[in-house]
Amino acid sequence: MRTTRRGFIQKTAAATIATAAFPAYLKASTVPPSDQVNVALIGCRNMGFGILKHHLNLRGVNCVALCDVDQRVLNEKAAEIKRNYKQSPKLYGDFRKLLENKDVDAVIVGTPDHWHCLPTIYALQAGKDVYVEKPLANSITECNLIVQAAKRYNKQLVQVGQQQRSGGHWNKIHQLIADGKLGKLRKVNVWGNFNYGIGQPIQADTPVPEGVDFDFWLGPAPKRSFNPTRFHGSWRMFWDYGGGLVTDWGVHLLDMAFWPSKTVAPPKTIMASGGNLSFADHAHETFDTMSVIFQLDDYAVTWEHTAGTENGPWDQSYGLAFVGDLGTILADRSGFKVLPEWDNQRKLDKTPPLELDSHGENHAQHVENFVQCIRDRKSPVCSPEIGRAAAIAAHSANIAIRSGAGMLHWDEQTNRFTNSELANNYLTPNYRTPWKLPEI
């Protein structure tokens, strides 16, 4: 954490974290060499390929197929797999052809957000397990469809890429709160300030790069000309493909904020303000400035971001502050610390101070959990329902501003907002022909 360390590392607690982060099933002796898992990757350029490498670092996991609409990316990643892992996956430009491959046991969906829904559901229908990146999908209706598909095709497994669910220090935070170490949890403040949230400097349209099937990249999104500011590296700043910082970093951090609520339902009330208030020379539609309040049953969660800056509360560009009657837990991916409230009458801390360092992003542990679940057919730690709750919250924050409603009330029974029909118009994307929303 970037904040100044003031406490001490609790050795016994650190041992607990280490144990939680590296469960017993990861020991090589417990994994039979013949127990092979064949994985395929759809969307190879960035995060998806990183997740694939975590799979291949596990014994008995093989890459049998790669799929991407950019032939240069596809060839580069295939060469890297051959060089570093001595494997030669089959290459595809159309994920539907990949799903016909009977050798594939599990699929990693590492595509842009607008391409999460169809590959995930088609993979389940084809009998494949799925690791899908977050957010679960690029719209609320698509999130609901994935959850419905996972229930219908329940012989298959789905792990959502909210990897902090597999992180030892995040599990320790959750346990401290559950054990009452903060007393009554009152609110969780969440923030994420990053320069990339403003997109790239505005550029004119260009021809489609050689080897890119741009029409397939657009897929169900509206037809448009090619612009490099809407493609590799910055697509998530445009509504047709992503939801900006709140659906990117926000989903990860909001998931941690919602975890103590013991529910997988989205927040009932969402109040948001903000807009595009700066960096008019950069190409982005998603909001560069946001402040949001989510009301849960028994505590509140706030989210804020100011894209184009990397300062924030507690001298951290991102993080969470779990605020309780007895103290606050300040956390990010590098660790956490407990900041006790002071009992002035008794002249002592209301809860014991504690500080722990951690090991980063927890992708490896999350992938390890998924692969073990493929082998033993148990449920992964981040279900589609968990992914749905965080994604719907993030999408609802954007919709509250886009619709002009400001405050929205979510009805979990009807999957609609009760106070704004204009907001309900943002629930379901209008797929471009010939693509259609799946029927479950």
Alpha-carbon span 417 to 392, nearest angstrom: 11
Cα-based distances in Å from 415 to 147, 165, 311, 388, 409 = 13, 25, 36, 12, 11
Q: Is residue 440 part of a domain?
A: no
Q: Tell me the pLDDT tens digit for each residue of 311-321.
A: 999 999 999 99
In the chain, count H helices and then E strands. 12, 20
Range of the domain at 410: 168-359+383-424
Handedness of CA 14, 20, 21, 26 (dihedral sign): positive
Contact at 8 Å (CB) between 411 and 424?
A: no
pLDDT of residue 35: 87
Alpha-carbon span 115 to 101, nearest angstrom: 20
The candidate with the shortest Cα–Cα distance to 157, out of 366, 373, 386, 389, is 373
Which contiguous run of DSSP H or E holds residue 170?
helix 168-178
Residues of the chain with pLDDT under 70: 1-34
pLDDT of residue 16: 38
Q: Is residue 366 part of a domain?
A: no
Q: Which of 146, 164, 182 is the last residue of a domain?
A: 164
Alpha-carbon span 378 to 157, nearest angstrom: 8
Alpha-carbon span 118 to 109, nearest angstrom: 10
Is the same domain home to 131 and 195?
no
Alpha-carbon span 314 to 305, nearest angstrom: 14
Is the same domain home to 160 and 185?
no
Is the same domain home to 339 and 271?
yes
pTM: 0.92
Average per-residue pLDDT for the chain: 93
Is the same domain home to 125 and 176?
no
pLDDT of residue 32: 60
Alpha-carbon span 145 to 123, nearest angstrom: 13
Q: Which of 135, 164, 193 is the last residue of a domain?
A: 164
Is the same domain home to 277 and 394?
yes
CA within 13 Å, CB half, 402: 20
Q: Which residue has the tokens 């594939």?
A: 104
Alpha-carbon span 101 to 297, nearest angstrom: 46
Domain at 98, CATH number: 3.40.50.720
Q: Which residue has the tokens 């491959």?
A: 101
Is the same domain home to 350 and 336?
yes
Using DSSP bridges, classify how beta strands 327-332 and 318-324 pair: parallel, antiparallel or unpaired. Answer: antiparallel
pLDDT of residue 3: 37
Is the same domain home to 242 and 316?
yes
Q: Is residue 375 part of a domain?
A: no
Is the same domain home to 218 and 127?
no
Alpha-carbon span 380 to 117, nearest angstrom: 19
Is the same domain home to 226 and 331?
yes
